[in-house]
Chain A
Amino acid sequence: MGGEAPEARRLDRAMSFGGAGSIPEEALHLVLGYVDDPRDREAVSLVCRRWHRIDALTRKHVTVPFCYAASPAHLLARFPRLESLAVKGKPRAAMYGLIPEDWGAYARPWVAELAAPLECLKALHLRRMVVTDDDLAALVRARGHMLQELKLDKCSGFSTDALRLVARSCRSLRTLFLEECSIADNGTEWLHDLAVNNPVLETLNFHMTELTVVPADLELLAKKCKSLISLKISDCDFSDLIGFFRMAASLQEFAGGAFIEQGELTKYGNVKFPSRLCSLGLTYMGTNEMPIIFPFSALLKKLDLQYTFLTTEDHCQLIAKCPNLLVLAVRNVIGDRGLGVVADTCKKLQRLRVERGDDDPGLQEEQGGVSQVGLTTVAVGCRELEYIAAYVSDITNGALESIGTFCKNLCDFRLVLLDREERITDLPLDNGVRALLRGCTKLRRFALYLRPGGLSDTGLGYIGQYSGIIQYMLLGNVGETDDGLIRFALGCENLRKLELRSCCFSEQALARAIRSMPSLRYVWVQGYKASKTGHDLMLMARPFWNIEFTPPSSENANRMREDGEPCVDSQAQILAYYSLAGKRSDCPRSVVPLYPA
């Protein structure tokens, strides 16, 4: 990929075929054992039937980017020696509450196929899917003895009963990940059973769930699981975690907990963290609790302050003591001032996330809010940044240009312009966006969510033209007319996944644009000039391309009244994707498959 493309592509296929001069079968097996990048694997599998077969037999990991894109049976029959499988379900919009709970993405068909034929499967990762207790029971029956890693990531539909079964049956489990799952809490025994039965557990994550915790169970966990490296939990008062921290000698990462009684420093003064701890996210930490981090803050590599009560000044003080941070997540309360401290202190920073705080004027932070000033200082100060995601109150072309000039390692850039401020210093951002894309040639993911007038058709054209190796994009409130979208689509050679929200494009333009992007496999759109029936979307119909249309639902009807035009369907959604599985059979009533009909 990349580099001197014309030379590299002149590959000779002679070696691939059997007979004299061909690579022996065993050699190919061995060589492919070192090929992990899915794109390389994809290329290998397309050489000839023999290579295709050997790739299939040696492929150890597969990510299915969308659960309806492939048939579980076919996929798993093709890769019988899979050790690790990841499947993603609902559109990303589900994380923002924009997808109904009954939308689909059921784990059932996948779990049903995971039994006998897959003798090597050790790791399963399901993201944004509906997983039932029965599914987990079936999984445990089929793979429980082998399972080393179970990640249920933003999933729903199961209870602690199933977790208890997992805890009792999967004795090789090293990772149990349940972050942001919505789990029915039928009791805390699962944690106790996990501690008793899984001595090899290394990572346990039920952060951002509502599960209740018994501190004694955590202590037991620390006692029994000597290699516990990472623990992320739901709310649990830190004064009850003192025993756990004392025992968890291997712990390197901790997140969650809670400072429930704020202001009583004495109560939390005894909290002592394990000596190897270098990744931290303490829920509800306030100004008075912050000093408990100071003794080891210089060791910290990851710090998550998104769920704390720290002020702008607190951020400045704390971050000034963390020179070794690689990953930092905050809310915009950090302010430009705090980002200035980040730029001065965190020279190794690779990932920076600035989330959106409270909009309520009474609850905002006085010096909060991040603008071009903060972004520019960070871009200049932190040259190792690979990931920037920020909600900003103001922005300029110059700030984006700085990022393009200085952040040469950037792979993932996401910017959302908040709608609170009436005046934005410098719109449209056409030239800044162009400079950023030209400068950051390693970008693979790109999100830009502005406001009407934030990016002209010309700017949208630039995004297409300079999209380079970007594979995923989210664009919101960009462009002025259909022409912008068409110009955008002329580029985007490597774009696989596109999400559009709140853009003024017609169905016809959407369909034309989608057809003209050669690598596009998945597109989700909400907020466009929808027709009543989605009729013009049929212009993108083609074999293996599923089109699902979601007309506005009655629950969202109150949103429709805000627009005047009768043709507006503010809540209509389009999801279109390549699928080898045909039309999906589990559409809820709210979703209308347009094609195949």
Chain B
Amino acid sequence: MSNTESTTRENTLEYSIGLGDDSLMLGQRLAEWCRNAPLLEEDLAISNVALDFIGRANMFYEYAVELAKVTGGVFKNQSVDDIAYLRDSREYLNLLIFEMPIGDFAYTMTRQLIVDLFNVDYFTALSASSDSRLAAIAAKTLKESKYHLRRSHEWALRLGDGTEESHTRMQNAVNELWGYTPELFEMSETELALLPAGISVDRAALFDTWEARVSGILNEATLDHPPGDWQVTGGRAGVHTEYHGHLLSEMQFLQRAYPGLAW
């Protein structure tokens, strides 16, 4: 195995874990709505979306497990659940927007709109990856994301153009979340390294289309485009919000309290 091949494999491993972490964090968050949604129909629908995200985390981690068998390193001999459950906050590579609390229903649906719009383009591009495994995961994921987007688009219209209260809540959510959107288009070193071989996706290149589409939907939903005078990044470097550790302590409870057991 050449050095280049070995480096590519290590980068692909890290790339997979990052994409897995994005999915897991959002899946964990969305699942919080199950039994807490504003109508029973939404308990079911949000749970479906949560299941899709947890399912894709599982697929990305499975690929990471296989790659780690060859690359060795910290993930050697680890299982999907070791990767999902046994790291500390600094070792998770998810983007910040995925870990933010669920907020109110407007906040949750606004995040979905932002993320679903992004994911449809992102996974369309990844489904053409030169890495056939990533391409296959992306193809499956893309179908789900298109459905998610239909839903979040509809909800953005209903809530943005519903009542005065729902409009205000949506506008607040858009304003609060906007600062986490630039990170979606920021390339990590790992992603940059994988780009020439056509393995990763050029996030930066997706910005213009995303910006145009999200602006169009905000407009349609009678919402103002936020000023965008504040933004943060750090997730891919493992620098998270303070919410992240609490999400982990809840999610990891059993694995930490009873280490090394099968469930």
Do A and B belong to a common assembly? no
Chain A interfacial positions (CB closer than 8 Å to B): none
Which residues of B are at the interface with A, using a C-beta cutoff of 8 A?
none
